[in-house]
Amino acid sequence: MDANPRTKSGFDHRQARRAGTAAFVGTAIEWYDFYIYATAAALVFGPLFFPESDRMVGIAAAFATYAVGFFVRPLGAIIFGHIGDRFGRRPSLVITLLAMGLATVLVGVLPTYDQVGVWAPVLLLALRVVQGLAVGGEWGGAVLMAVEHAPEKHKTFYGGFPQLGNSAGALAATGTFSVLSVQGDDFLIDGGWRIPFLLSMPLILLGFWVRYRLEESPVFDQSRDDQPQQLPLTYALKTNWHPMLLGIGMAGVSTGGYYIVTSFATAYATDPAVGLSETLVLNALAAAAFVEFVTTLAIAWLGDRYGRKRVVMIGVLGSGALIVPQFLTLGGGSVWAIFAAFIAMRLAMTATYAPVATVMAQMFRPQARYTSMSLSNGIAAAIWGGLGPVTATWLYVQTGTIWSVIVLFLGMVAVSAVCLHLAPQHIDPAPDAGERRDANDESAELGV
């Protein structure tokens, strides 16, 4: 067998595997960095950086740990999308990885409020901004490197590798803090919390080595001469505004819905009115996260086998069908029923998430693709992820019934389903092939 096999379309499977692995490693490291901040914020940042005696610092803490992480992502998409569309996917991904890693390591050596006063939360906020910028540019580039190296009939599978990095990073962050917490709360407060941040240094060096050795995207090289002369952001807003809007709407369930069935569901289940223990809910979430991790690539493969849009649609509609039993089970189900509800919902969510990276990548032609999909994803994260759980909490408080949240979720399902149905799909030009084809002309063959 040829050691370097190419498909008839000219795409190299060896390079596709390398690109997929690089996307997974880099994305897992970046999400590890992102999630250890969130975990530390919940466990130790309050007393160390945001003492309750200072009201304004408390407000800064809430803003830093929640809003910035979402609302700075569109700016990161613009900055790194410009680099990725003008100079290549690889340099943009290397910069995002180094920026995230440097910010994370610096968090690990920051002085606390007792040492430098208000400068401690200010510096922490600044480093959180850098993290948010890096995440805003990371996802789109990682997806494009994986998808654009892959043959057409295997794009969804390889596009699942960066999606796998999210759950891997979350599990690594949670696991690291779980191991450290065995030493006791005093150990974490007295400096143990710094260890996960400092551990990021060797991980970043590994990610840099993997990404630096990766070849540039063949689709970017093929279309380099066709890149627009105007700014990628300008081109994206003028030419791709319609699929960008569809991409934002399409993420309603995979982004906003995800936080409702995880973050909001945790708060609802542990509310005194419901009365479930935190340990039970966290264990159910951990089991669901593990299931997501082991099924992501399999579900992405199903996208290639049966059509990526079709698989995402099944996930969207399936999550809508499961939302009622999940919340009703939290209100009075057995332990096994609660575990089953969380796992079933996470499987549906994985179906909305694993193939959606490739769906969104192929919504845009190569010109300004990095900017277009990164900006769509960043705005979607700000709208659906930033406002979804807040809106759900407000509705529950105002109405006093979980049915108002269920209706909100079903509204997200409707928006996502319509936008997904309307989303275009394009076939990339093969390396050294001059003719481009529109995937809509071959929908029967590809099942999209």
Residue 353 banded pLDDT, cuts 50, 70, 90:
very high
The fraction of the chain above a pLDDT of 70, given in percent, is: 87
The two tokens of residue 88 are: 């290549």
CB 71 within 8 A of CB 209: no
pLDDT score at 355: 93
Q: pLDDT at residue 178 above 80?
A: no
pLDDT score at 66: 58
CB 404 within 8 A of CB 395: yes
Whole-angstrom distance, CA of residue 226 vs CA of residue 232? 12
Domains and CATH numbers, the chain: 13-446 (1.20.1250.20)
Segment 357-377, tens digit of pLDDT = 999 999 998 888 899 999 998
Question: Average pLDDT, stretch 87-99?
Answer: 88
The residue that leads in pLDDT, 26 or 339, is: 339
The fraction of the chain above a pLDDT of 90, given in percent, is: 31
Segment 293-352, tens digit of pLDDT = 999 999 999 999 999 999 999 999 999 999 999 999 988 778 899 999 999 999 999 999
- Which of 156-160, 200-204, 347-351 is least confident? 200-204
Tokens 């979430």: give the residue. Answer: 285
Q: pLDDT at residue 107 above 70?
A: yes
pLDDT score at 432: 56
Q: pLDDT at residue 385 above 50?
A: yes
The two tokens of residue 413 are: 């399902």
Q: pLDDT at residue 228 above 80?
A: no
Q: Which of 294, 295, 330 is nearest to 315 (CA)?
A: 295
The two tokens of residue 351 are: 């179906």
- Which of 218-227, 321-330, 395-404, 429-438 is least confident? 429-438
pLDDT score at 368: 87
pLDDT score at 448: 45
Separation of CA 192 from chain center: 27
Segment 54-83, tens digit of pLDDT = 545 554 564 455 567 778 889 999 999 999
Question: Average pLDDT, stretch 196-224?
Answer: 81
Q: Which of 213, 151, 143, 142 is nearest to 5 (CA)?
A: 151
pLDDT score at 356: 92
Give Dmax over CA atoms of the chain in angstroms: 69
Burial class (CB in 10 A: 0-12, 13-18, 19+), 435: exposed
pLDDT score at 311: 96
Q: pLDDT at residue 266 above 90?
A: no
Question: Average pLDDT, stretch 413-433?
Answer: 85
- Which of 131-140, 402-411, 428-437 is least confident? 428-437
The residue that leads in pLDDT, 27 or 346, is: 346
Q: pLDDT at residue 262 above 50?
A: yes
Whole-angstrom distance, CA of residue 233 vs CA of residue 107? 31
Length of the chain: 448
Residues in contact with 68: Cβ distance below 8 Å, sequence separation at least 6, in sequence order: 125, 128, 129, 132
Segment 397-419, tens digit of pLDDT = 889 899 999 999 999 999 999 99
Write the secondary structure of the chain as one string of H (helix), E (strand) and C (coil).
Answer: CCCCCECCCCCEHHHHHHHHHHHHHHHHHHHHHHHHHHHHHHHHHHHHHCCCCCHHHHHHHHHHHHHHHHHCHHHHHHHHHHHHHHCCHHHHHHHHHHHHHHHHHHHHCCCCHHHHCCHHHHHHHHHHHHHHHHHHHHHHHHHHHHHHCCCHHHHHHHHHHHHHHHHHHHHHHHHHHHHHHCCCHHHHHHHHCHHHHHCHHHHHHHHHHHHHCCCCCHHHHHCHHHCCCCCHHHHHHHHCHHHHHHHHHHCHHHHHHHHHHHHHHHHHHCCCCCCCCHHHHHHHHHHHHHHHHHHHHHHHHHHHHHCHHHHHHHHHHHHHHHHHHHHHHHCCCCHHHHHHHHHHHHHHHHHHHCCHHHHHHCCCCCCCHHHHHHHHHHHHHHHHHHHHHHHHHHHHHHHCCCHHHHHHHHHHHHHHHHHHHHCCCCCCCCCCCCCCCCHHHHHHHHCC
The residue that leads in pLDDT, 330 or 226, is: 330
Whole-angstrom distance, CA of residue 431 vs CA of residue 12? 9
Question: Average pLDDT, stretch 238-256?
Answer: 93
Whole-angstrom distance, CA of residue 134 vs CA of residue 138? 6
Q: pLDDT at residue 441 above 60?
A: no
Q: What is the mean pLDDT of the chain?
A: 83
Inter-CA distances, 76 with 17, 73, 95, 270, Å: 27, 5, 12, 35
Whole-angstrom distance, CA of residue 65 vs CA of residue 354? 26
The residue that leads in pLDDT, 39 or 448, is: 39
pLDDT score at 58: 56
